[in-house]
Amino acid sequence: MPSMHPNRAKWEAIVWLLAFALIYGTAFLFDGHEAIDALFVSQEAYNLDEIFTALTIAGGLGLIYSVLRIKDMHREIQLRVTAEKHVDWIACHDPLTELPNRRLLEVALLKLLTLSQTQRSAIFSLDLDGFKKVNDLLGHEHGDQVLKVVAKRLCSMFPEDNVYRLGGDEFVVVVERKGNQDLSALGKRMVVAISKPIAINGATVEIGASIGFARIPEDSAFPAEAIQYSDCAMYAAKKIGRNIVKAFVPEMQEELIKKIQMEADLKLAMKLGKIRPYYQPLVDLKTQEIVGYEALARWEREPGKFVSPCEFIPLAENAGLIVELTDQLFRIACQDALSWPPHTVLSFNISPVQLSDRLLGLRLLKVLGEVGLPVHRLELEVTESALINDAETARDVLDGLVKSGIKIALDDFGTGYSSLSQLSNYQFNKIKIDRKFVATFEESDRQEKVVRAIIALGIGLGVKITAEGIEDASQLRRLQDLGCDIGQGYLLGKPCPIEETLAVSERQIA
């Protein structure tokens, strides 16, 4: 039911009071009371005096009743106004951190647009580094606490209304610039504040932040555009590593447009089946026999022009296309593998992100079953970084794969995270020495020692060792002398389409 506006009620009360004063004044002026009295006496038979008294009492009580109802109404309106304010607050704020959300940011950007002639400002886009790991390893409750701490730290540096949470681990800070403020230094101060250790339930968590910023009006006079630019700068910072602060430069946007175009091209290429595996032989260094092929994805974007998998595989990972791409490539590779001699193994690369997919094993087994390739002919190559990202799930996924009879090779060994504890934690069938060791081990004593140690480790663990990137005969001979089991490299065979592998499958090396 619509209730009366308090102001209208007030005015109506005043009008009624005035009417009362007017009628009463007139009655007073013309001796109305005496006239009524005389009327009552002359018409005693009708009991007019009793009726009048009843009406007077009813009028008085009615007045009290109205005052009480007006008070109730007032209270109800207050409650409604408070509730409306609360709903408005919820719609414009993030309930977890209590920071304003994207809606309020849009309002603030509109306000900035009108001020951009006179006021200089900057927009900072922040994305936390390592937040996903906290969420995965410690659970969402801990993740929430981390977000609250980050929000508090930012609010201690800037007025609360200028810090926004856009969802997930993304924040935006809008800063009014005074004088010749060093914005990179300001960004770095944010990184320092955010990356201080956070204590949660007895555990200490350390996260970082990638920050990009854009200036209004120098980079753009339009705040909505400036925020896209600061996002661009943030992505550029994230690409470099942790805790990086980047100012927007126009080339970044070109890169972003290129990336979006490339993503669309990748989708189309996948749809048209233009990404296909090539195969590089894996050669037994003792018998010189081809024991398997590594499938390496190839995308011929234009005739004769290939995009490197180092470029499109991460793109597929970020665009959420990697599962579909892997499925496509894997099915083709399994079918191709059927045409090789029956002892030949298919070595297939698995992206780090896929080791957090608990259905990976089932999906691979399904394809193997459908194509008819025996499980013992498959070997998956996983990199060390895959085991770091989400260690617990990766371990479960790998255990599942091993249990179903799939062999696992540890790829790019020696780059980055090698740790012996990892080797003993997982059941690997093979270790692949990264090609950077093979490229330099002849000239460098240190590298040769590393290669020797890895080969010795392989013998100790009962695991075969593959050396990647063998390009010349002296490297090959040296690795054979050191007792390396398997070799791969341009000298032994470049990655080639399936038809060529058939032609060389019985090849012997000199």
**What is the pattern of x (binds ligand C2E, CB under 6 A) and - over residues 324-353?**
-----x-------------------xxx--
Give the whole-angstrom CA distance, residue 42 versus residue 48. Answer: 10
Provide, rounded to whole angstroms, the least separation between the CB of residue 326 and ligand C2E.
6
Q: What are phi and psi of 387, to 5 degrees?
A: -85, -15
CA angle 238, 143, 361 (to 5 degrees): 75
Of the candidates 75, 88, 202, the residue with the CA atom closest to the CA atom of residue 138 = 202
**What is the pattern of x (binds ligand C2E, CB under 6 A) and - over residues 477-496?**
-----------xxx----x-
Give the whole-angstrom CA distance, residue 170 versus residue 241. Answer: 16
Q: 333 contacts which partner out of ligand C2E, Ca ion, none, CB within 5 to 8 A by kind?
A: none
Binding test (CB under 6 A) with ligand C2E, winner from 243, 280, 328, 501: 280
Binding test (CB under 5 A) with Ca ion, winner from 129, 219, 411, 485: 411
Binding test (CB under 5 A) with Ca ion, winner from 349, 354, 475, 501: 349
Sign of CA dihedral 105, 111, 115, 119: negative
Q: Is 310 in the site for ligand C2E (CB under 6 A)?
A: yes
Provide, rounded to whole angstroms, the least separation between the CB of residue 353 and ligand C2E.
9
Cis ω before 217 (30° cut-off from 0): yes
222: tokens are 């339009």
For residue 305, give the H/E element and its range.
strand 305-307
Provide, rounded to whole angstroms, the least separation between the CB of residue 185 and ligand C2E.
38
Query: What's the N-to-C CA distance of the chain in angstroms?
Result: 96
Q: 438 contacts which partner out of Ca ion, ligand C2E, none, CB within 5 to 8 A by kind?
A: none
Helix/strand/coil for 177: coil
Contact (Cβ atoms closer than 8 angstroms) between residue 398 and residue 361: no
Q: Is 384 in the site for Ca ion (CB under 5 A)?
A: no
- Beta carbons within 8 Å of 234's beta carbon, 6+ residues apart: 125, 126, 127, 210, 211, 212, 246
Q: Is 471 in the site for ligand C2E (CB under 6 A)?
A: yes
Whose CB is nearest to Ca ion? 381
Q: Is 306 in the site for ligand C2E (CB under 6 A)?
A: no
Q: Which is nearer to ligand C2E, 215 or 432 (CB)?
A: 432
Q: 351 contacts which partner out of Ca ion, ligand C2E, none, CB within 5 to 8 A by kind?
A: ligand C2E
Provide, rounded to whole angstroms, the least separation between the CB of residue 411 and Ca ion.
4
Binding test (CB under 5 A) with Ca ion, winner from 229, 412, 438, 450: 412
Contact (Cβ atoms closer than 8 angstroms) between residue 122 and residue 213: yes
Bridge partners, 487 (sequence order): 283, 467
Q: Which is nearer to Ca ion, 223 or 495 (CB)?
A: 495
Provide, rounded to whole angstroms, the least separation between the CB of residue 205 and ligand C2E.
30
Of the listed pieces 63-71, 114-122, 225-233, 295-303, which binds ligand C2E according to CB under 6 A?
295-303
Provide, rounded to whole angstroms, the least separation between the CB of residue 487 and ligand C2E.
10
* Tokens 């692949």 -> residue: 432
Q: 377 contacts which partner out of Ca ion, ligand C2E, none, CB within 5 to 8 A by kind?
A: none
* Cα dist from 439 to 9, 434, 435, 467, 475, whole Å: 90, 9, 6, 10, 8
Of the candidates 221, 297, 212, the residue with the CA atom closest to the CA atom of residue 256 = 212
Of the listed pieces 27-35, 265-273, 306-314, 402-410, which binds ligand C2E according to CB under 6 A?
306-314
Give the whole-angstrom CA distance, residue 103 versus residue 151. Answer: 17
Residues that bind Ca ion (CB under 5 A): 349, 381, 411-412
Q: Which residues bind ligand C2E (CB under 6 A)?
A: 280, 295-297, 308-310, 313, 329, 349-351, 381, 411-412, 435, 468-471, 488-490, 495
